[in-house]
Amino acid sequence: MATEAIVTGGKRRLRGSPRNPYQGRKRPWLHTQRRWNLTGWTFLIPAAALITLMSFVPMIQALFLSFQTGRGSRLTWADPFWLNFERMMGDEIFKLTVFNTFFYLIIQVPIMLVLAMILANLLNDPKLKFKAFWRTVIFLPCAVSLVSYSLVFRTLFATDGFVNDTFMALGLMDQPVNWLGGGWTARLVIIIGLLWRWTGYNMIFFLAALQNVDYSTLEAARVDGASSLKTFWFVTVPQLRPMIVLTAIMSINGTLQLFDESWSLTNGGPAYQSMSMSHYLYELSFLKNPNVGYGAAISYVILIMVAVLAFIQMKVGDKRD
Amino acid sequence: MTSATSSTRKRGRFSWRRVPGYAFLSLFALFSIFPLFFMVVSATNTTKDVLASRLLPGTHLVENFRSLFGAQDVGAAMLSSALIAVGTTVLALAVCSVAGYGFEVYHSRGKDIVMAIIMLAMMIPFAAVMIPLFRLFADVGMVNSLFAVIIPAISTPLLILLFRQASRSFPHEIIEAARIDGLRELSIFIRIYAPTMKSTFAAAAVITFMTSWNNFLWPRVILLDNAVQTMPMLIANLTAGYVTDYGVLMLAVLLTSLPTIIVFLVLQRAFAQGITGAIK
């Protein structure tokens, strides 16, 4: 560690700022520093350029598109320019898809996050047996593609499928339920599917965050006689708050963009009753007689919803008590 | 009271206090594994057996294989999916790891601002950029090109963030020592940083490979020709016919799921380490 003393000269530095190996001599040091700064920029330019080109530029283009109208590639400026947005207000199918998406969001995300937290907490117990087995099994659904699991659930919930057979064998039902043929049951199947696919994924994030929870605080609560439920709620959960915010934002973002399940599991049906916003957007923009201007307007509404919800989440999560 | 009695017991002895925890874990594990079990078993059964809820392996696997490969070009779809997933993973790891390293090691105020802007991109739903992206790739004649699927997935805020957070725990002293030894900046990254951050790279590879292999919406939009369709697109089309053959469908679903399941099982230890390292 002899070089350490020579190089640092004993001064504290800002995180990340390099040390001056030239000691007293200022000019070559400034030169090297500038060179390093430039190196840093060249390191991140490819990533930044790609994100600009693939996310920010299209986002601005979509804004312009949302004020245009026409079929296929023949587009003209809408007159009045808010025409697409006006049409959206009267579009019953769009309203239904917004309702469906928010229904999934409000029912599924809280249940999933609570389940994920409980599972992570159970897995974090140092005395738990077969830890690797539980973790692998619960995470495994995340390795399956959305389309794949949607098709498996579609098979399980078919009218003559496994779920009906089992319920009838157990005497819980007299006749098979057409799960995917009714609006509410179709939505329910999508929610069960989402819970199956994503709970383990969020559990991994909570499990990682639990590594940072100070074990002595849990010990202290136990010594003070708090039940494990109370310890979990009053000691563990507050320390997980940043992770709750992160997983909530990721889940909200994901649910608002729901497409694969709506497409493969229920095909949006029956009659748009379980269709998600993204599915409707796809249908409008790329199928039959595409209207990309109207599609872009809808995509902007989705963008604003995501932004507003993320902002609220961050505000709520930032509150310290 | 319970804690007092349990602490006097020997470790590992049965305790009633643990029963609800194990019961909950078992139930959830069953819920997690059952659809996968059903998928595997059904792949070996006839469509009649699948609908009769047969939960035992059947003898129809070979026939299912034959009718699936006879009806669909599974080989071509596997190849498209593999090329896209491997290509995206290699390029994404290269671009995002260098960027995350750059943000952390050559830290400056300007780069902090760029990082904040990149994080904003995380909030942009793909649906909002899908239409202009399609027009962009159509304008340069890249509809049906696998690169059109790969390029938008290379640089992602999540991966950059993962690498930046992981770089925080990488000791700067090593970088400075390497500089004194005369190593160039890029060689420091390739020869010193990359080999020590294996678990972060593994975590990033698992995430990217899975996302890319499983991606459905964008390939559906940009790959219009069935000759270049991916596995998720192929299986989604299987239900479009008049009568769905559930045995064949479950076999196709199983084939689509195997690569990602294998990648996850092989890299899972490193994956968990990488995620934990990044969050710390």
Q: What ipTM was predicted for this assembly?
A: 0.84
Average pLDDT for residues A10-39, to the nearest whole number? 61
Please provide the size of chain A in residues: 321
- The alpha carbon torsion through A166, A171, A176, A181 (nearest 10 deg) reads -80
For A21: left if phi > 0, alpha if psi spans -120 to 50, otherwise beta; the answer is: alpha
Would you say residue B165 lies in a domain?
Answer: yes
How far does the CA of residue A80 sit from the closest CA of chain B (Å)?
22
Per-residue pLDDT reduced to its tens digit, B43-62: 888 887 777 777 888 777 88
Domain assignment of residue B228, yes or no = yes
Distance between terminal CA atoms of chain A?
Answer: 43
Q: Could you say which DSSP state residue A77 is in? A: E
Mutate to test the interface with A, among B13, B15, B18, B28 (most CBs of A within 10 A): B28
* Cβ-nearest to B33 among A57, A137, A145: A137
Q: What pLDDT sits at residue A5?
A: 34
Q: Which of residues 155-214 of B touch A (CB under 8 A)?
A: 155, 157, 160, 172-173, 176-177, 179-180, 185, 189, 210, 213-214
Comparing CA positions, the residue from B188, B201, B117 lying closest to residue B159 is: B201
Chain B residues close to A15, C-beta within 8 Å: 107
- The reply to whether residue B217 touches residue A259, judged by beta carbons under 8 angstroms, is yes
DSSP conformation class of A71 = S
* A55:B124 CB<8 A: yes
How far is CA B60 from its chain centroid? Answer: 31
For A:71-110, CB contacts with B below 8 A are: none
CATH of the domain at B87: 1.10.3720.10
**Is pLDDT at A70 greater than 50 in this prediction?**
yes
Indicate whether B259 belongs to any domain: yes
What are the tens digits of pLDDT across the range A180-221? 888 899 999 999 999 999 999 899 889 888 887 888 888 888
Quickly tell me which residue has 């117990």 as its tokens. A125
- The shortest C-alpha distance from A59 to chain B (Å) reads 5
Does the structure show a pLDDT above 80 at A27? Answer: no
The position carrying tokens 């379980």 is A274
Mean pLDDT of B78-91: 95
State the nearest Cα–Cα gap between A299 and chain B, in angstroms: 4
Residue of chain A with shortest Cα separation from B133: A58
pLDDT in tens, A31-57: 677 777 888 888 889 999 999 999 999
CB atoms under 10 Å from CB of A49, counted, come to 12
Would residue B258 count as lying in a domain?
A: yes
Least confident segment among A113-122, B175-184, B206-215: B175-184
Residue B28 lies in a domain: no
**Residue B73 Cα distances to B42, B78, B234, B235, angstroms:** 21, 9, 9, 11
**A228 to chain B: which residues are within 8 Å by CB?**
17
User: Cβ B95–A46 below 8 Å, yes or no?
Assistant: yes
Model pLDDT for residues B245-254, shown as the tens digit of each residue: 888 888 999 9
The position carrying tokens 């963030």 is: B161
Average pLDDT of B181-188?
83
Q: Which residues make Cβ contacts (< 8 Å) with residue A245, sequence separation at least 6?
A: A313, A314, A316, A317
Q: Which tokens hold the place of B228?
A: 């270049």
The Cα A5–Cα A144 span in angstroms is 52
Out of B123, B265, B280, name the one closest to residue A212 (CB): B280
Residue B189 covered by a domain: yes
Domain residues for the domain of B175 are 72-279
Restricting to A residues 149-168, those with a Cβ less than 8 Å away from any Cβ of B are 149, 151-156, 158, 160-162, 165-166
Query: What SS3 class is residue A76?
Result: strand
| Partner residue opposite B102 with nearest CB, options A40, A142, A296 | A40
Among B12, B99, B118, the residue with its CB nearest the CB of A43 is B99
- DSSP labels, A227-256: -HHHHIIIIIHHHTHHHHHHHHHHHHHHHH
Name the superfamily (CATH) of residues A93-318. MetI-like (1.10.3720.10)
Percent of chain A whose predicted confidence (pLDDT) is above 70: 88
Q: Which of B176, B216, B232 sits opposite A19 (nearest CB)?
A: B176
B-contacting residues in A 31-60 (Cβ below 8 Å)? 36-37, 39-44, 46-48, 50-51, 54-59
Structural domain includes residue B67:
no
Mean pLDDT within A213-235: 83
Q: Which of residues 261-280 of B touch A (CB under 8 A)?
A: 261, 263-265, 268, 272, 275-276, 278-280
Whether B160 is covered by a domain: the verdict is yes
Q: Provide, as residue numbers in chain A, all residues whose Cβ is less than 8 Å from the Cβ of B35.
A: 141, 149, 152-153, 156, 196
Instruction: Give residue-wise pLDDT tens across range A261-284.
Output: 898 888 887 888 899 998 998 888
**Which of A22-26, B57-61, B252-256, B274-278 has the least mean pLDDT?**
A22-26
Q: Is A69 helix (H, G, I), strand (E, B) or coil?
A: strand
The torsion angles phi and psi of A76, rounded to 5 degrees, stand at: -130, 160
Domains held by chain B: number? 1
Report the distance separating Cα A93 and Cα A99, nearest Å.
10
What is the residue whose two structure tokens read 């507003």? A308
Cα–Cα distance for residue pair A258/A83, rounded to 1 Å: 26
Using a CB-CB cut-off of 8 Å, the residues of chain B touching A118 are 24
| Cα three-residue angle B83-B84-B88, rounded to 5 degrees | 115
CA distance B51 to A243: 42
Mutate to test the interface with A, among B16, B18, B32 (most CBs of A within 10 A): B32
Looking at residue A133, what DSSP letter applies?
H
Contact between B250 and A204 using a beta-carbon 8 Å cutoff = no
**DSSP SS3 for A68:** strand
Confidence of residue A110 (pLDDT cuts 50, 70, 90): very high
CB contact under 8 A, B179 and A21: yes
Which residue has 């598109």 as its token pair? A65
Q: Would you place residue A319 in the very low, low, confident or very high pLDDT band (cuts 50, 70, 90)? A: low
Say if the Cβ atoms of A253 and B132 lie within 8 Å: no
Q: Cβ–Cβ of B152/A54 closer than 8 Å? A: yes
Contact of A213 with chain B, judged by CB distance below 8 Å, is answered with: no
Poorest-confidence range of A78-82, A89-93, A221-225?
Answer: A78-82
Nearest-angstrom CA–CA distance, A196 and A112: 9
| % of chain B exceeding 90 in pLDDT | 29
What is the CA B183 to chain-centroid distance, rounded?
35
**CA B105, B108, B114: angle at the middle one, nearest 5?**
100
Under 8 Å CB pairs connecting chains A and B tally to: 291
**Is residue B11 less than 8 Å (CB to CB) from chain A?**
yes
3-state secondary structure of A126: coil
* Helices within chain B (DSSP H only): 2-8, 19-42, 47-51, 61-71, 74-105, 109-121, 126-139, 146-150, 157-167, 172-180, 185-188, 194-196, 198-214, 217-222, 231-238, 246-279
Cα(A29)–Cα(B223) distance, rounded to whole angstroms? 53
Instruction: Pull the structure tokens for residue B184.
Output: 């160039």
Kindly give, in sequence order, each residue whose CB lies less than 8 Å from that of residue A213, ignoring residues fewer than 6 positions away: A236, A239, A240
| Cα gap B68→B71, rounded to integer Å | 5
Mean of the pLDDT values across residues A122-138? 86
**Do residue A302 and residue B103 have CB atoms under 8 angstroms apart?**
no
* Cβ contact A255:A104 at 8 Å: yes
Quick check: helix, strand or coil at residue A132? helix
Task: Judge if the upstream peptide bond of residue B132 is cis by omega within 30 degrees of 0.
Answer: no
Closest by alpha carbon to B19, among B10, B32, B6, B8?
A: B6
